[in-house]
């Protein structure tokens, strides 16, 4: 199943710099591992915001929830999920 996910990040200003840096390093490693596995298919930064649009390709809602809640930045995120399915007018066969 494909999901469009918007993630808005709001790291508290009073979080110690060293702690924030450690969380960000774990976040990067985890997200890149998911991208290499094909689960996190696309990620785009939203210009001028600490936010992204991402496309996930996972088995079901439960797998997506496990992945998202496992993100080190998850406690500092507002997440919006939209399930996707192929449009009948789409011409590409390789992106279902």
**Which CATH number does the domain housing residue 41 bear?**
3.30.70.1060
Judge whether 35 lies within some domain.
yes
The total number of structural domains in the chain stands at 1
- Starting at the edge strand that comes first in sequence, how are the strands of the sheet with 51-57 ordered? 40-45, 51-57, 2-9, 77-84
Residue 50 inside a domain? The answer is yes
Question: What one-character-per-residue DSSP string does 22-75 give?
Answer: HHHHHHHHHHHHHHHHTSEEEEEEPTTSSEEEEEEE-SSHHHHHHHHHTSTTGG
Domain holding 64, by residue range, is 2-84
* pLDDT tops 80 at residue 93: no
Whether the model pTM is above 0.85: yes
Per residue in 49-68, pLDDT tens? 999 999 999 999 999 999 99
Could you tell me if residue 40 is inside a domain? yes
* Confidence check: pLDDT of 95 > 90: no
Q: Which two tokens stand for residue 78?
A: 């507002």
């Amino acid at each position: 199943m494909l999901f469009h996910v918007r993630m808005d990040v709001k790291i508290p200003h009073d979080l110690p710099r060293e702690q924030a840096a450690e969380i960000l390093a774990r976040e990067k490693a985890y997200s890149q591992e998911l991208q290499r596995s094909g689960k996190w298919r696309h990620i785009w930064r939203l210009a001028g915001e600490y936010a992204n649009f991402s496309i996930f390709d996972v088995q079901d809602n439960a797998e997506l929830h496990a992945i998202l809640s496992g993100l080190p930045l998850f406690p500092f995120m507002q997440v919006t999920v939209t399930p996707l399915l192929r449009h009948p007018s789409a011409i590409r066969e390789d992106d279902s």
